[in-house]
Amino acid sequence: MCDVYAIKFSELVKIVERLRKECPWDRQQTNQSIKNNLIEEAYELYEALEEDNDQKIIEELGDCLLQVVFHCVIKNENGNFSLIDVIDNLIEKLIKRHPHVFGKKQLNTAQEVLSQWDSIKQKDKKSILEGIPKRMPSLFRAYKVQKRLSKVGLEFDDAINVETKIYEELSEFKKAKTTEQKKEELGDVLFSIVNFARFFDIDPEEALHISIDKIIKRFEYIEKKLNGNFGGVSKELLNKLWDESKNLT
């Protein structure tokens, strides 16, 4: 089985290397030009996993794997590093962060493993906030930052205090005069709302995702009722249809 993995993986790398030489589009790409592709492929994989559709999962895992290999091939061409360096680094990290598997330490629960993982990770970092990607979706990033801060005691005592903070930030937003000031204050409002969600163990990214899906379903109901023709439709009719659509969700 190991030989099959090695053969197939080698075949994939060789195909990507050939594409870099013979395909005009592939040859033109850089790590910067294809960086957004990985984000798109990751979201497509996430969707396939949510649907638990094996065929789609196979396809999307392959697309994500292609991005990893593509980046490594480009870097190898420039003499920076190779796919082997990436794999070696991953192996070293997995062994280091699992001393209960590859060493003598004993752990019995998943929570103990998670705490140990965080502790080992933190030893390699200069700041407790290091390692949270700047390009992570903002709601999720806010959630991660707040969880890290809470570990050192930077935390509201309860959800009531967070709710008070939300109204305080809303008040500051209303007082803001310039667009830049309003943008900053609105960011503070959203950050506080994320904190509020966290006190109820709610993932704000997932909560917003559910709301967006609900709004889309309601709109699709209206769209179907009007046969896609919104020209000349009164506000009263739109509101009536919107109220009807609420019975669907």
* pLDDT given at position 249: 64
User: Rounded CA gap, 72 and 206, in Å?
Assistant: 32
Could you tell me how far CA 34 lies from the centroid of its own chain? 18
Contact predicate 188/169, CB 8 Å:
yes
The predicted structure's pLDDT at residue 66 = 98
- Give the model's pLDDT for residue 2: 67
pLDDT given at position 117:
84
Does pTM surpass 0.85?
no
The pLDDT, as a whole number, for residue 229 is 92
pLDDT attached to residue 190: 97
The answer to whether the CB of 81 falls within 8 A of the CB of 72 is: yes
Nearest to 14 by CA among 60, 64, 57, 72: 72
- The candidate with the shortest Cα–Cα distance to 135, out of 26, 29, 43, is 43
As given in the structure block, the two tokens for residue 230 are: 């919104």
Distance CA 64, CA 189 (A): 35
At 38, the amino acid letter reads L
Q: State the DSSP string of 67-116.
A: HHHHHHHHHHHTTS--HHHHHHHHHHHHHHT-HHHHSS----SHHHHHHH
| pLDDT tens, residue by residue, 117-170 | 888 888 878 888 998 999 889 999 999 999 999 988 999 999 999 999 999 999
Name the region of 201 (left: φ>0; alpha: ψ -120 to 50; beta: rest).
Answer: left
Q: What is the DSSP letter of 126?
A: S
Q: What is the dihedral of CA 215, 216, 217, 218, to 10 degrees?
A: 50
Low-confidence ranges of the chain (pLDDT < 70): 1-2, 249
